[in-house]
Amino acid sequence: MCRLLAVKDRTPFAIAPLLGAFAAMARTSPEYQGDGWGCAWRDGTGWNAYHSLTPVWDDDVRRFGETSLLVAHARSAFRNEGIVVENNMPFAAGGLVFAFNGELHGVRIREDGRIGAEKVFNTIRRLTNGDLRAGMERAAAAICARSRYVRAMNVVLSDGERILAHSSFAERPEYFTVHVAARDGRVAVCSEPLPGEDGWRPMDNDATEVFA
């Protein structure tokens, strides 16, 4: 059960302070978040990405400069399996960047992907048909309908212009509730409220939101 973060602003912001706060959150999480981490950020040419098996709190986040759009993810590998850097999020394909936090049991959907999170990403992409929000909602409904149990399914997704977030969970709201802070052209979506961002509110359960 991982931790995720997405931040978008009208003006460029420094990446390192946000990742420092995110690293502190991951380090003190009640679930171990040290199975690697990754981030993706926009510059004038498109998406850039970094992935590592080092816990985010032990990595040097000062290496990163500025951006106007950031997605980050700290991994807690399901059953301590598949701990290789290729399984670290954010995943990227078709101009989209994706991160997932949750736990699915008995999923009966045939989809390409090395791990369950990548299969969720590919399900969204397959069901989008030009409408990303509708694709997220269709994918969430299909996965819930064809799973024995969805403990939680939290997703952040960006097309480079917007952040889309979906949150659903069946237990532990104190852990699985996604939080949003939006003000003055800036939006942050995170597994927990981060210091330095004002106006945090919880997303509703089984909700999808879009932030342009």
State percent of the chain over pLDDT 70: 98
For residues 143 and 136, what is the distance between their CA atoms, to the nearest angstrom? 10
Predicted confidence (pLDDT) per residue in 30-41, tens digit: 999 999 999 999
In angstroms, the CA 87 to CA 90 distance is 9
Average pLDDT (52-66) is 96
User: Alpha-carbon distance 61 to 20, whole Å?
Assistant: 7
**What is the mean pLDDT of the segment spanning 69-83?**
84
What is 3-211's CATH number, 3.30.420.40, 3.30.70.20, 3.60.20.10, 1.10.10.10?
A: 3.60.20.10
- Pairing of β 66-74 and β 37-43: antiparallel
pLDDT recorded at residue 115: 87
Hey, how many other C-beta atoms are within 10 angstroms of the C-beta on 205? 14
Contact 16, 62 (CB under 8 A): yes
